[in-house]
């Protein structure tokens, strides 16, 4: 899950994922949306691949990227479950003392 959140931490990579929601795009088509060099975009693509957030298909010299939404969904659901979001079970009790009630305040 850490690789996924590392990938999502960067606004360029988040924008790449947004673009891929519309459908597969080539590396060049994606790079055209950003004011950075192609090697910089290639590094972003590598992080997304390493996190498992995109699939690639190579046809000659053209690399096409496709969003793997199921991986993103699984990561977000796993993260949400840590806090008890979307589950019937309440989150584990905090080790901190509860906040004082109105009656306990001076």
Q: Measured between alpha carbons, how far is residue 94 from residues 11, 65, 99 in Å?
A: 32, 42, 11
Greatest Cα pair distance in the chain: 75
Q: Residue 103: its pLDDT value, please? A: 61
> 8-59, pLDDT tens digit by residue?
999 999 999 999 999 999 999 999 999 999 999 999 999 999 999 999 999 9
CA dist 24 and 28 (Å) reads 12
Domains of the chain are 2-82 (1.10.10.10)
Collect all residues with Cβ–Cβ distance below 8 Å to 71 and sequence separation of at least 6. Answer: 4, 51, 52, 53
Q: Measured between alpha carbons, how far is residue 101 from residues 93, 94, 97 in Å?
A: 18, 17, 12
């Amino acid at each position: 899950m850490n690789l996924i959140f590392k990938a999502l931490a960067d606004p360029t990579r988040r924008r790449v994922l947004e673009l891929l929601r519309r459908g597969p795009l080539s590396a060049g088509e994606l790079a055209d949306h950003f004011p950075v060099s192609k090697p910089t975009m290639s590094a972003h693509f590598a992080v997304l691949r390493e996190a498992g957030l995109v699939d690639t298909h190579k046809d000659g010299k053209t690399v096409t990227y496709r969003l793997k939404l199921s991986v993103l969904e699984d990561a977000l659901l796993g993260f949400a479950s840590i806090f008890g979001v979307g589950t019937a079970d309440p989150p584990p009790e905090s080790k901190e003392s509860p906040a004082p009630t109105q009656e306990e305040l001076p």
